[in-house]
Amino acid sequence: MSGETHLRGLERLYAEAPVNRIFRSRLTIPEAGKAEIRFEVTPDMFHAAGAAHGTIYFKMLDDAAFYAANSMVTDAFVLTTQFNLFLTRPVKAEPLVAVGQWASGHRRVLIAESRLLDADGEEVARGQGTFMRSRILLKDLPGYVHGPA
């Protein structure tokens, strides 16, 4: 499978994931080792103090780092084995973008980082994770090879 076909397959896989019906977002992978996820925070995602719940930070940062890492692995689905979050400021209702970047590793364990940016490009959080190659073949996952059924 070509590099471009792999990246588009990962984008389709993300779009087809049931969780993304809850967390409406859009993944783009401009090149191997990089991923961007765009997302709109709405008031129904707030905690009791009126700002985005931490699940939003985690979802966006983990997904961006995950897909940056999986873009480097063309045959298998990777799994998050560890992820650290650093939250720097609360987020209100606004558009966000999570930018993921592969950092190291090729074979079994990969490391990737991500940054969560507000509409002005200011960082509101960052994350770093380790991802491990699984036994799940990408070609066997719905949407990866042929797109939605």
pLDDT tens digits along 52-92: 999 999 999 999 999 999 999 999 999 999 999 999 999 99
At 84, which CATH number? 3.10.129.10
Q: What is the DSSP letter of 49?
A: T
pLDDT bracket for residue 1 (50, 70, 90)? low
Tokens read off for 137: 């073949």
- What whole-number distance in Å separates Cα of residue 148 and Cα of residue 141? 11
Residue 12 lies in a domain: yes
Residue 51 lies in a domain: yes
Q: What is the DSSP letter of 21?
A: G
Residue 103 lies in a domain: yes
Tokens read off for 7: 């990246």
Q: Which amino acid is at 15?
A: A
Q: Are 74 and 29 spatial neighbours (Cβ–Cβ below 8 Å)?
A: no
Q: Is this prediction's pTM over 0.85?
A: yes
- In 10-148, DSSP assigns E strands to 25-28, 34-40, 76-87, 95-104, 109-117, 123-137
Is pLDDT at 149 greater than 70 in this prediction?
no
Q: What is the DSSP letter of 93?
A: S
Residues of the domain holding 62: 3-140
Structural domains counted in the chain = 1
